[in-house]
């Protein structure tokens, strides 16, 4: 298995990292998930639009579903831990399918640029509906004394109109 030059990490190491993160989210270990994020994490989810590709990107960076820092993500997690965050009380069941993982050297020393596809399926209560949201994540992970930390994640949904009734989960 090849290694990424700057960090001496194997592809398998990175896959395991992303799967561990997904497991935190699906098992609702949200504190464990927060612990995988760097204190200076930038966590964003811009909007996708349909447009003529000759006129530029179909991503609207200036409008997002998530525009988060560690502090605001922690607030979101703390809210979900109250007794009355009804979107997740009782909790929904999610499954994060992470695939098509590409690993490259990151923009700074000791960082990795990791691109992955995501498919998040969600079941709410006894509803027969299977909600889904899918797209691509572009991450930067940084090596630290406490292991790899997510420094930057940009989530690009493939849908312009989301069919999940809310984004009470993380991607």
User: Of 46-105, which residues contact another protein (CB under 8 A)?
Assistant: 47, 49-52, 55, 60, 62-67, 71-72, 74-76, 78-79, 82-88
Q: Is 165 in the site for another protein (CB under 8 A)?
A: yes
Q: CA-CA distances (angstroms) from residue 29 to 77, 80, 100, 114?
A: 10, 11, 24, 22
Please pick, from the candidates 2, 5, 100, 161, the single residue that binds another protein as defined by CB under 8 A.
Answer: 161
Please pick, from the candidates 104, 129, 144, 147, the single residue that binds another protein as defined by CB under 8 A.
Answer: 129
| Nearest distance, CB of residue 154 and another protein, angstroms | 14
User: Considering beta carbons, is residue 113 or 164 the nearer one to another protein?
Assistant: 164
Q: How far apart are CA 44 and CA 168, in angstroms?
A: 15
And the tokens for 160? 């312009």
Taking CB under 8 A as the binding criterion, the range among 3-11, 102-110, 113-121, 125-133 that sits at the site for another protein is 125-133
**Long-range contacts, stretch 119-122, CB < 8 angstroms, 24+ apart:** 120/94, 120/95, 120/96, 120/169, 120/171, 121/94, 121/95, 121/97, 122/92, 122/93, 122/94, 122/95, 122/164, 122/169
Containing 105, the helix (H) or strand (E) segment is strand 93-105
Please pick, from the candidates 5, 8, 100, 163, the single residue that binds another protein as defined by CB under 8 A.
Answer: 163
| Nearest distance, CB of residue 11 and another protein, angstroms | 31
The contact mask relative to another protein for 131-150 (x = CB under 8 A, - = no) is: --------------------
| Nearest distance, CB of residue 28 and another protein, angstroms | 16
Per-residue DSSP letter, 46: E
Q: By C-alpha distance, which of 120, 157, 122, 150 is closest to 46?
A: 157
Q: Which residues are at the interface with another protein (CB under 8 A)?
A: 45, 47, 49-52, 55, 60, 62-67, 71-72, 74-76, 78-79, 82-88, 124-125, 127, 129, 160-168
């Amino acid at each position: 298995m090849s290694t990424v030059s700057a960090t001496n990490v194997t592809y398998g190491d990175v896959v395991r990292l992303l799967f561990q993160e997904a497991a935190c989210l699906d098992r609702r270990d949200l504190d464990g998930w927060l612990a995988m994020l760097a204190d200076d994490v930038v966590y964003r989810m811009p909007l996708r639009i349909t447009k003529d590709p000759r006129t530029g990107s179909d991503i609207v960076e200036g409008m997002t579903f998530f525009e988060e820092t560690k502090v605001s993500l922690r607030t979101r997690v703390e809210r979900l831990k109250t007794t009355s965050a009804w979107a997740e009380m009782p909790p929904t069941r999610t499954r994060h399918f992470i695939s098509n993982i590409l690993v490259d050297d990151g923009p700074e020393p000791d960082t990795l640029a990791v691109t992955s596809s995501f498919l998040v399926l969600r079941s709410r209560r006894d509803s027969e509906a299977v909600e889904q949201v899918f797209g691509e994540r572009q991450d930067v992970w940084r090596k630290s004394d406490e292991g790899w930390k997510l420094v930057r994640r940009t989530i690009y949904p493939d849908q312009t109109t989301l069919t999940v009734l809310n984004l009470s989960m993380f991607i």
